[in-house]
Each structure stands twice: as C-alpha cells, then as structure tokens.
Structure 1
Amino acid sequence: MTVKAVSFSELPDWETDDHGAALAVFVQSCDKIRVNNQTQAQDWSELCAFAKKTTDARAFFELFFQPVLIEDGKHTLFTGYYEPEIVGSRYRAGKFQYPLYKRPREMTLGKPWKTRAEIESGALAGRGLELAWLSDPVENFFLHVQGSGRIKLNEGGAMRVGFDGKNGQPYRSIGKEMVRRGILSAHKASAGRIKAWVRKNPNDGRRILQHNPSFVFFRELAGLDVEAGPPGAMGVSVSTGRTIAVDDDYIPLGAPVWIDKKGKDPIRRLMVAQDVGSAIKGAQRADIYYGSGAEAGRTAGRIKDGGRMYTLLPHASVKRLLPEG
C-alpha cells in the first residue's frame, strides 16, 4: 500500500461541490467512525465535535483534513448499489415460493458453512427460518448482492430487511463467470442483462447463480424512517449520492472521500464511507449508493467506471502515515 498526500486544489472541481450536503452526511456517522486504535479515534472525535457546530462546511474540511491518495497497485473501480423494492409475502402461497432466510443459530459467522447450492436445495427447509417469500428467484439473488431492501407485502404493508450475516463462503461474480463462458460480452455484463438471461434460461440460470456460493441471511428492520435509506455497516441510514461502500482495510468507515468517477456520467463529489460489501476489495474500490427502487437499480447496474478517489484524513493521522512528510 502507498499513501500520497495531495492538496485540495488537486481535487477536480472541489470548489464547486455542495460541501454542506457532505457535512450533513458526515455528521450522521462521525460518532461511530471505525479506526484501528485509540490514538486514531481521538483524532476523529475532536473533528466530530467541531463538525456538529461549524457554519462553513468547506472551511471545516479544508482546515481539519488532508486529502490522501491510497493505492494498492490495482486500478480504480467504481460500481453502484441500491435498495431493491420487491413484491413479496410473509407467507408461502401462490407465486411466492422463494424464501429469504433468517440466520441459523448454529452457523458461526466468519467460518465456511453450507453453500448457496446446498441451501437452495433444501438444507434449511422446514425449520421456520423463512423471513419472507418472493416470487422471483432472480430478484431474490440480487437482494443478496445488495444486502438490504424493501418488500411490498402482498397482504398489505411493507417489510424492510437488512443484512444479518453470510455463510462464510467466498463471493464469486456471476457476471465475470458469464463472460468467461461466452454468454455475455464484457461490456454487456450489466445487472439488467444478467437478470434477463437468467429469466429466459431458468435451469441454466439457476446453475449460474449457484456459481456464487456466498449466501446472505436477513433480519427484519423495524422502526426505520420509511423515507430514509437502509442502514449501512455503521448502523446509520445511507444517503443517496453521498454514501459509498469501501474496503475498510484501507479506508476508515466514516471518513470523507472525494470521488472523481469517470465514464458516461462522471461524478466529482465529496462522499462518506459508511458501508462495506463482500465484493468491495481494494484501496481504490468503491460502490456508490444510488437510492431505492427500480430506477435506482437500473442506474446502479450500469456503473462500472474508473477514476480516482482521495480519502480525507485528520492531519495527525496523516503525519503518522507519512512520518517524513
């Protein structure tokens, strides 16, 4: 890993961003910033106190932070994620035949357990672990990828579900596997095209989905503001266009991060690292939260862009990373 300090003037379009919007998101989670030791925690706690009472957001960031470029030798990759909205039921009936499962008590988090194929073949059937039932196995799978969602219940009302652990098996990209098999070309391996192919080829599609042995368990999220985003890894609601999921081996959860995303719809904006993801690995890897619903899903599914991202760290933390700087 290499760390290079840069100036705010080197951040493309820094001066034109809505720094106040970024500050509001930062404040939501600044009390829960995750760092490696107590010394680093003290760096952040002092900043958090100032953040809650500052009236000049841009000056706050420029005064108390130093942008750094953290790299690990891999290319930058931005993707998108969203909160699905899916029709389902609390009960198995009619078309609702595909369960979302609660986490089994005997499973130890972090240790390999039964694979997706084993679970979908009935390993948990009849144990009363079904949290809800969906009508579409493809949407069920992609809900696992996103980790949270809203279910519009067939019997009325809604249920919000969130991540409650996984089976300890490695995440394998079905998009990459479909490209490897020649089913899709690399530039057409979007979420929408993957869904369409699997629905058109249900038997082969089921086997393709089971190429990813990772399986997510859910819990019902009660008492959340229906207008707010789902809770991320920090336990606070994520914010559309201001939250990213990162690899917290490189970027502290809760840190502000300047995004310079290239591609068809470029983004240059200050975001906050408030989430993680099993597929988000690397110093220059981020997943941008695009909101809830089908349109957000279509947008998020098209994102696969390069660029750069710069983490804003307290000056004291940077000095410890760069003792000679």
Structure 2
Amino acid sequence: MAVTCLLLAACPSKRVEETPVKEPSFVKSDWQTLPEWTQVGLASSLEALSAECVSLKRKEQWQQICAEASLLDISNNEALRLFFETHFTPWQLRNDDGSDQGLITGYYEPLLYGSREKSERYRFPVYGVPDDLLIIDLAELYPQLKGMRLRGRVEGKRVVPYHDRAAIDSKHAPEGKEILWVDDEIGLFFLQVQGSGRIQLPDGSIVKLGYANQNGHPYNSIGKRLVEMGEMTVDQASMQSIRQWGVDHPERLKELLYSNPSYVFFREMPDSLKSAVGAMGVPLTAGYSMAVDRRTIPLGMPVYLSTTWPNSEAPLNRLMLAQDVGGAIKGTIRGDFFWGFGAEAGKNAGSMKQQGRMWVFFPHGFTPTLKTASR
C-alpha cells in the first residue's frame, strides 16, 4: 500500500491497521497423529521409494536412507514402519487459513486406438515436440526464479507465446511431428490431461507414450467450464460425464476443448516400461505414486495421504511417494493419485474428487519451508 500511496499521492493520512496475512505452513507432527499409521501396508510404498532411489541416492541426505531401504524385507511390515519412523519426521500441511484439507483427484494411463497412418477412422494426430517450441530457463537470467521456465516461439526478433490449442488444431499444426493418429478426439484430450497412455495399433501391438513437453499455456478445466455453462453440476462433473457430454454434443465439442488452451506433446517410450514415467524420470507405482505441486512438496518425498475412496466415505489412508507433477495440480494441499492402467484405474481416476489431508515425511534434521513466491 505504501508504494501505491507514493505513486498516487492521494492516500489518507490516517493509519489503517491491516490484518496480517497468514501463509501456508508445515506443522511438525508425530506418528500417533497419522490415521491408521500402525495398520497400513508399506511394502508397495517401499517399492516406490526404492524406484526413485536411483536418482535420490546421489544426494547426501538420502544416501543412508536408500542404502538401508535396499536391505529391508518387504514382507516384514513392522520393520518397514520402524524404518520410516527412524529416518523421517512427519510434517502436516496447513492452508493459509489454518485448515488442513485440500482436493485429491486421480489420474491413470488410458488406452486409445490408433495407427501410424492417417485414415478416415484415424484422423486425430498425436504430436511430438514442435521444432519451433522454445524452452527458456529463467534462472539463467534471474537466479531467484529457479525452477521456472518460459515456453514460446520466435516471431521476428521477439519471443512470443506459443500457439494455443485452437491454433495448433487448425492453421498452426506442427506438420511432420505426428507420432500416431487416433480415432477418438475427446480421448486424445484426456490423454493429454493424464500425461501418458498407450495406443493399440490395428495389428494389436501397443505403443507407449509419455509426456514430452507442453505449449506453455495454463490448464483450464473443461469440467469447470461445463459447470459454468450450466450443462452439469459440480457433483456430476467427472471424466465419464464429460465424455458423455461430448458424445451427445459433437457440434459443440471443439468449442469446449478450446476453452483449455494448454496442449501436451508426447514421445514414444520403451516397450519394456511397465508403467508411466513421472516427472522424476522413474516409473510410477500404481496406487502409491502421486502428482503434487513441487512448490510445496519436493519431488521424491514420502507423503502420508488421508482421504476417502472415490465416490465413497470409506477411509483411504496410504503412504504415497511424490513422483510427478501436473498442470492442474496447484496449491498447498493438492494431490493427484495415480491409479495405474486399465478400465478400473480409469473408473477410479475419473470419479476421484475427494477431500484429504497430507503429512510430508522429511528426513530427520530437515526443516521444510514453503515456496510461496507465486501465491
């Protein structure tokens, strides 16, 4: 306010008492506070941790943790629990208003049908990264912006925003970058939202696709857009209901999809991969990996999640690993639960819209801080 007054020279002389603004925070917790901590199975959680140790073990604070994790008997749940209690301290996340709950959604690997060649049936392209997409690491110019990147393209002597979804879909398609062609337009949109998936070719073979890059535009929820249009209620909005709306209103589908300007580009992944690869570069573990906002939770951290099963009040308490990020996953207490591959995974992911609490396990001696620059 003081700066504004100096610029406008039109502020009242009377001092105004301002209410301090609270910031989101980590609150040191204890093991007894975690719901069902002594009952949850930890074998798959340890397997997810071991997978990321390929990269984490290079960091000093993780060396002993990863070394001991490799020696544990995953069938001994008591030993696994003691391992986490010995090496970590649970810190509970709180919102800026002091509340401890946030939104938990789900994602998965969808299966689409496609071809290497365009045809009347297979006419919707899956693109790789365009040659003219620029990725500028802002930290090279401004160290305080570490972790922030700018995406755009060159126009004359200027760097301008890259094309949005509508432009890519029409006059600015990255010709020559088609990886595959699929037969389902809204399925392709959901593939971009999920960030990875599998395409079955006419001969029955499977091509695995992973996230390669994005056009730099913000993600806008088409479910939220449909609610704003009065087409469905918040409670009705799910991946399944959105798909059905598209089937019922084909003439309005493009308009809906274009309301989300974000566009994801893909790359082919090795056939040997058993699961999607997250932002850490390691395969995700179905039911135990999650996407988070890395401004709040550093990638690789164990996160104890207390929520409920999709469309249910039944408790779902589980030790997850923060191994991925997503364009829509923004906020202090915000998580995206990876359900894996297949129809059942898609059903759970599409209907998951729960409230949940989070405790982040930080290695002993580490005091967490929140990166609140963008809030």
Q: TM-score, normalised by structure 1?
A: 0.92
Instruction: Indicate the residue corresponding to 1:45 in structure 2.
Output: 63
Q: What's the CA shift for 1:51?
A: 1.6
Q: Compare relative contact order (CA 8 Å, sep 6+) and give the higher one, 1 or 2.
A: 1
| Per-residue deviation, residues 232-286 of structure 1 (Å, max 9, x unmatched) | 1111111111111111111111111101013614310111111111101112100
1:207 to 235, 255, 267: 255
Question: CA contact under 8 A between 1:76 and 1:306: conserved in structure 2?
Answer: yes
Structure 1: tracts of 5 or more residues without a match: none
The residue identity in structure 2 corresponding to 1:233 is A
Whole-angstrom distance in 2 between the partners of 1:113 and 1:133: 23
Q: Deviations over 1:166-197 (max 9, x none)?
A: 00001001111110110111100001000100
State the match for 2:92 in structure 1. 69
Deviation at 1:94, TM superposition (A): 2.6
Matches of 2:329 and 2:87, distance apart in 1: 28
Note the C-alpha offset of 1:160. Answer: 0.4
1:268 aligns with 2:325: no
Which has the higher Rg, Structure 1 or Structure 2?
Answer: 2
Moved over 4 A (4+): none
Match of 2:233 in 1: 185
Q: Retained in 1: the 8 A contact 2:127–2:265? A: yes
Gaps of 5+ in 2: 1-23, 74-78, 136-149, 152-160, 371-375
Match of 1:285 among 316, 329, 334: 334
Quote the sequence identity (%): 38
Distance in 2, Cα, partners of 1:130 & 1:308: 41
Query: In the alignment, what sits opposite 1:246?
Result: 292
Taking structure 2 as the reference length, the TM-score comes to 0.80
Distance 1:205 1:73 in 2: 38
* C-alpha distance in 2 between matches for 1:262 and 1:156: 37
Greater shift, 254-263 or 242-251, is seen at 254-263
Query: Which letter does structure 2 place at the counterpart of 1:23?
Result: L
CA–CA distance in structure 1, aligned partners of residues 295 and 63 of structure 2: 20
> What corresponds to 1:301 in structure 2?
350
Q: 1:312-323 counterparts in 2 under 5 A?
A: 312-318=361-367
Structure with more of its chain in helix, by fraction? 1
Distance 1:321 1:279, change over 3 A: closer
CA distance in 1, matches of 2:29, 2:360: 10
Displacement after TM superposition at 1:321 (Å): 5.2
* Number of residue pairs matched by the alignment: 313
Residue 68 (structure 1) shift: 0.3
- What value does the CA root-mean-square deviation take over the aligned residues? 1.8
Provide the residue aligned with 1:141 in structure 2.
Answer: 189
* Local SS of the residue matching 1:313: strand
Residue 180 of structure 2, aligned match among 132, 137, 160: 132
Greater shift in the superposed pair: 149-158 or 240-249 = 149-158
Question: Partners in 1 of 2:96 and 2:346 — Cα distance?
Answer: 30
| Structure 2 residue 51 is the aligned partner of structure 1 residue 28 | yes
SS at match of 1:160: strand
Query: Letter of the aligned partner of 1:134 in structure 2?
Result: V
